């Protein structure tokens, strides 16, 4: 796979028709909340409901299942996500889980890699929307309570100010000098784990400028020719990771801003020999490394790691 190839990273994919037109129809939304085949995605404390940790699968609930639990839905707690196989899907923010609810609420980071792609994407969307709603209960200008509309995608203050779901863009980049790639590690990561350079895009900054700035700030390496690779929704809590590859103009490393505990150049043999731990396969950082790694005559990274190749 060459640089810039279109890929579907984990938590992404066309699994839902977001049906934004239906967000503006309060009568349709009210009817959909009461349809027996509508799917509800419970989110508790930004954790998602799965049926099993041993073999994780998302636990979506229907209206009859909610009724059996004596679970009364407050429409203000439901966020319309879209249509999945013609069925309406709502994220459902819950406080105390009702007695008798089967499954476990877990951090999506723990199980995301083992979920089916469609389930992972829907849970990520639900988590992001419920998290945004929970962090924006009051108007930052007036302190007034915010009321949900448009299927939960708009929060409005009595004075007319409206808030929309927030997404924080962040760049993530695999820098190489051809034979080696630049990876860094943070002090709180598991021992031996290294990953690509990443950071948030600042106001008034292009993505390409952010790539160059973040690499220089964290490692003192200068880059050229940043090339977009792919993106990944990252609801931890509300980022969009924008992946790049870039070429190194300089290779001397100096840790400038304290973000990293270490940064080094690694060649493919070092990676293949397991000298470092790579980021989890669910992350775009792993995909960026794999794309670069596979541009040689040796085995693919998936083969080296003993895992089947995947586009999820």
Structural fold of domain 168-304: Nucleoside Triphosphate Pyrophosphohydrolase (3.90.79)
Other residues' Cβ atoms within 10 Å of the Cβ of residue 287: 27
pLDDT value, residue 53: 83
CATH class label, 20-138:
alpha beta
HEC string of 98-162 equals: CCCCCCEEECHHHHHHHCCHHHHHHHHHHHHHHHHHHHCCECCCCCCECEEEHHHCEEECCCCCE
Rounded-to-integer distance, Cα 98 and Cα 197, Å? 42
How much is the pTM?
0.90
The boundaries of every CATH 3.90.79.10 domain in the chain are: 168-304
pLDDT at 32 over 80: yes
pLDDT at 8 over 90: no
pLDDT at 122 over 90: yes
Q: Where are the alpha helices (DSSP H) in the chain?
A: 20-23, 26-34, 63-68, 108-111, 117-135, 207-219, 268-272, 284-293, 301-304
Mean pLDDT computed over 113-131: 95
Q: What percent of the chain lies above the pLDDT cut of 70?
A: 96
Place 6 in a pLDDT band, splitting at 50, 70 and 90.
low
């Amino acid at each position: 796979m060459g640089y810039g190839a279109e890929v579907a990273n984990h938590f992404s994919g066309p699994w839902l028709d977001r049906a934004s037109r239906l967000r503006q129809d309060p009568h349709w939304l009210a009817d959909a909340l009461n349809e027996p085949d509508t799917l509800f995605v419970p989110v508790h404390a930004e954790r998602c409901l799965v049926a099993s940790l041993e073999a994780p699968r998302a636990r979506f609930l229907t209206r009859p299942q909610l009724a059996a639990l004596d679970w009364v839905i407050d429409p203000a707690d439901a966020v319309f996500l879209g249509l999945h196989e013609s069925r309406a899907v709502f994220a459902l923010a819950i406080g105390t889980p009702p007695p008798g609810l089967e499954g476990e609420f877990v951090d999506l980071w723990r199980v995301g890699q083992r979920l089916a792609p469609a389930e992972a994407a829907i849970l990520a969307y639900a988590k992001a929307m419920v998290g945004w709603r929970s962090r924006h209960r009051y108007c930052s200008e007036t302190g007034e309570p915010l009321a949900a509309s448009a299927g939960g995608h708009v929060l409005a203050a009595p004075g007319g100010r409206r808030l929309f779901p927030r997404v924080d863009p962040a760049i993530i980049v695999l820098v190489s000098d051809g034979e080696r790639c630049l990876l860094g590690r943070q002090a709180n990561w598991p021992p031996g784990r290294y990953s690509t350079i990443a950071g948030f895009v600042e106001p008034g900054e292009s993505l390409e400028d952010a790539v160059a700035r973040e690499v220089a700030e964290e490692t003192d390496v200068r880059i050229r020719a940043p090339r977009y690779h792919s993106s990944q929704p990252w609801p931890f809590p509300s980022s969009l990771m924008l992946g790049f590859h870039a070429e190194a103009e300089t290779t001397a490393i100096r840790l400038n801003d304290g973000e990293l505990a270490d940064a080094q150049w690694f060649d493919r043999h070092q990676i293949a020999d397991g000298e470092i731990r790579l980021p989890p396969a669910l992350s775009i950082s792993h995909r960026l490394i794999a794309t670069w790694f596979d541009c040689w005559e040796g085995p693919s990274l998936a083969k080296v790691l003993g895992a089947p190749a995947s586009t999820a």
